Amino acid sequence: MAEHKPAKQGIVVFAYSEVGHACLKALIDRGENILALFTHEDSPDERQWFRSCAALAKAHGIPVYTVEPREGDTVERIVSDLAPDLIFSFYYRKMIPERILRHARLGAYNMHGSLLPRYRGRAPLNWAIIHGESETGVTLHVMVKEADAGDVIDMEAVSIGPEETAGQVAERIPAAAVRLVLRQIDGLKAGTAPRHVQDVRKATYFGIRKPEDGRIDWRQTARQVFNLVRAVAPPFPGAFTDAAGRRVMIWRARVSEGSGKPGEVLSLRPLVVAAGEGAVEVVHFGFEGEDEAGASEAMLATLKVGDRLGESA
């Protein structure tokens, strides 16, 4: 008589972005039973710097759905029919309603891009750099009704170098997330993974960032301007100011010395601009829409010492 082998636990994955791709691939490479992937349609307005979760899933015969949780009845019906043991959310961009999460017999877990309870909410890496943090990371936690508030399963720290951009740090985040998944997947499947209640007294929350939030306020300190520039540098939308009635993108900067009125051009070569405290050397810059290779020289030709950046007219 043939030996009966129990069916593998079924997993439903909600995933997007490079972290989503890396974690989904890690589960596939382990031979996990992925019942379905829920992901997002790629936006034509967004610079795509990450690999497609949908393409990865389709290449391995995993059903892919792009219907979103706000269309709750459809998503709940699909998940209910699949009867998953586990649900994972890896950098999926929408809140998943509790009524969907309840269909996971062994629980539903989210990968968040900070060391919780700090930096709950959206764009945690960018916000961490804006605030001058020297460390970020990823946290695997239980999904509950409130965003990023569930019990912590595990976390993995990632350092932030003093001059690193968000894009440079982001390159190390997927590997940290995969280490978390591989470290805890067996315990989650067995129902033995650790759980730690978050200390709400230490919780901080930050909202979504829009491209317009990259506007530089030269009244801030030089350090704050510098942190904004590296927090939103490519592949993110970028920091910007105004000069000669045009938008100027600033892709790289460093803290410098000098004083003057906020936004005042103190020198041209190098381009040094006064902040509310100290000054910023603007290293790589140019008018919006121009080729980055020669954009800095083209813009310098329109400036003189004493001009004020940040004035749109």
In a domain, residue 3? The reply is no
pLDDT (tens digit, 9 = 90+) per residue, 251-291?
A: 999 999 999 999 999 999 999 999 999 999 999 998 888 76
Least reliable range by pLDDT among 158-162, 200-204, 244-248, 261-265: 244-248
pLDDT (tens digit, 9 = 90+) per residue, 135-187?
A: 999 999 999 999 999 999 999 999 999 999 999 999 999 999 999 999 999 99
Same domain, 161 and 220: no
- Range ranked top by mean pLDDT from 39-43, 188-192, 245-249, 288-292: 188-192
- Dihedrals phi, psi of 79, to nearest 5 degrees: -65, -40
Same domain, 57 and 195: yes
Same domain, 174 and 235: no
- Dihedrals phi, psi of 193, to nearest 5 degrees: -65, 145
Contact status, residue 46 vs residue 71, Cβ threshold 8 Å: no
In a domain, residue 5? The reply is no
CATH number for 245: 3.10.25.10
CATH number for 153: 3.40.50.170
Same domain, 133 and 228: no
In a domain, residue 79? The reply is yes
**Gyration radius from the chain CA atoms:** 23
Confidence of residue 65 (pLDDT cuts 50, 70, 90): very high
In a domain, residue 307? The reply is no
pTM for this prediction? 0.91
Q: What is the overall mean pLDDT for the chain?
A: 92
Q: How many domains does the chain have?
A: 2
Same domain, 141 and 82: yes
Same domain, 141 and 284: no
In a domain, residue 313? The reply is no
Residue 135's pLDDT is: 98
Residue 287's pLDDT is: 87
Residue 106's pLDDT is: 97
In a domain, residue 224? The reply is yes
pLDDT (tens digit, 9 = 90+) per residue, 114-127?
A: 999 999 999 999 99
Q: Does pLDDT of 299 surpass 70?
A: yes
**Containing domain of residue 271, as a range?**
213-300
